[in-house]
Structure 1
Amino acid sequence: MASSPAAKRARGRLLCLGIESSANKVGVGIVADNGDILANVRRTYVAPSGHGFLPGATAAHHRSVVVPLVQEALTVAGVTPPDIGLLAYTAGPGMGAPLRAGATVARVLASLWGLPLARVNHCVAHVEMGRLVTAADDPVVLYVSGGNTQVIAYAGGRYRIFGETIDVAVGNALDRFARAVGLSNDPAPGLNIELAARAAAAGGREPRFLPLPYVVKGMDVSFSGLLSAVEAAVAGGALVSAGGDYTVGDLCYSLQETVFAALVEITERALAATGQSQVLVVGGVGCNERLQAMLRTMVEARGGVALATDDRNRSG
């Protein structure tokens, strides 16, 4: 029979095993109550080229790999099931079918191991994980992922949203852009956009910049018009391969400079409104080094510090 969490804490650290499955990545982590991350393993469902990841196919992928991932996490952490004192899983927001895949495994393990089960809010977890990893004190948070684009700060005893997208989340916009210009989903569309833009900027010539809609409304941003403009340009033969003037790298460079400038603008407004000096970027898009550099330039000019939750193993 599994020991109680109280007994485990009496013997040493309380360990929590968590399962995240809100989108195309499924991960298993083991964290100690002092903040030490003992394991963080994951697998990504890569959709066929030219397609997004559909809920059913994504959930099937997660179901096929999540149990081996649990065993891998235990091995990496050097612990066994009796050492675990708490189980957690992402309860939302996210895609329904993939979320259910992770939740089902968490519930079964909690029953088998006799452990309490914690439901975790995906968005709050991004913020708190970022604060843990970077030791950020009281930052303005830029939360940029496939399904979320928000500027968040803690004020008046709660997290408050200062600005957000009014249509398409930035990660979704990057995915759709990648499909429009023919970039692969492997290992990730956003990473392929970043690499293509970087190659264009290092190719011995200045990238050719395609003017794109730049929509900032107060503290909110909009990306749907930008996507429509890119799709229209590609359909109209803007790419060199179709006789036009722009390489795929040029368009990736143009997209990043436009989208990230808008995100930096609303983040700076939140800094001015709150008087805070730290910015923390979280979410998958926050791994983009160009976005990090633009944020750093803005924040340091204001005498502050920019921080990023950024795992260098971005292809897992």
Structure 2
Amino acid sequence: MKAYVFPGQGAQFVGMGKDLYENSELGKELFDKANEILGFNITELMFNGTDEDLRQTKVTQPAIFLHSVILAKTLGDDFKPEMVAGHSLGEFSALVANGALSFEDGLKLVSQRAIAMQKACEIEPSTMAAIIGLDDETVVKVCAEIEEVVVPANFNCPGQLVISGSIKGIEIACEKLKEAGAKRALPLNVGGAFHSPLMEPARVELEEAIRNTTFSKPTCAVYQNVNAKPVIDPEEIKQNLVAQLTAPVRFTQTMENMIADGATSFTEVGPGKVIQGLVKKVDRKMETAGVDSYQA
């Protein structure tokens, strides 16, 4: 079975999507439509902006979504997913790719999500850190023992987990996790504590937007971040999308479950090669590929 996977925040780069705009009529049409929907010229920032421009959450998230989704749409008949998944933001790309969401509704939700997350970050200073070379169970246990807000946020692959929380909580956790045997505990240059209880204001805001959006029955199952299980029921998809903002991204478990359910190859659609690398950490023999530019 062919699995298609979609990257999340952090995969952006200046110039992303420009080849799609210049070489595909459909690509140009969708990018122009995106500028109208968003109310600002995101294509100018994507194609000719600076790294700083692209790092703004309100720009980053729709930019990565657009690159992934427009790439998938320009693949035409070559794009036939039998299962899909996305990392955090990438779950929205996956849901447009499998027909659960329209392009327009997906982009509106991603934009609303990004702005809500940005606002939540401004309410309370917070951050994230990558923990390398320690088993998940130990990381979960150490975080639970700290009185500050600090939780596992991204289960990326065996031996790589990102934690999220208050500035003080992350500082304490990094020290304790190094003492517990982590090879590295690296604070990340992010705007706030994504996938933690500190995103609750954003969750409340996004819940209303998702509730008012039409979701269709998808063409294939989406393996969602919150439970790493295949879902096709639109109502369940909506509930899991809302929960995703304050819950951890269970990507290690997602890849394991997709492989157990018959995935024979993983194709990453969108900027970068991060997810292909994560798949290889779960199963070195698994076939991986990437689509990150216009396919003539």
Same topology, TM > 0.5: no
Higher relative contact order, structure no. (Cα contacts within 8 Å, ≥ 6 residues apart): 2
TM-score by length of 1: 0.33
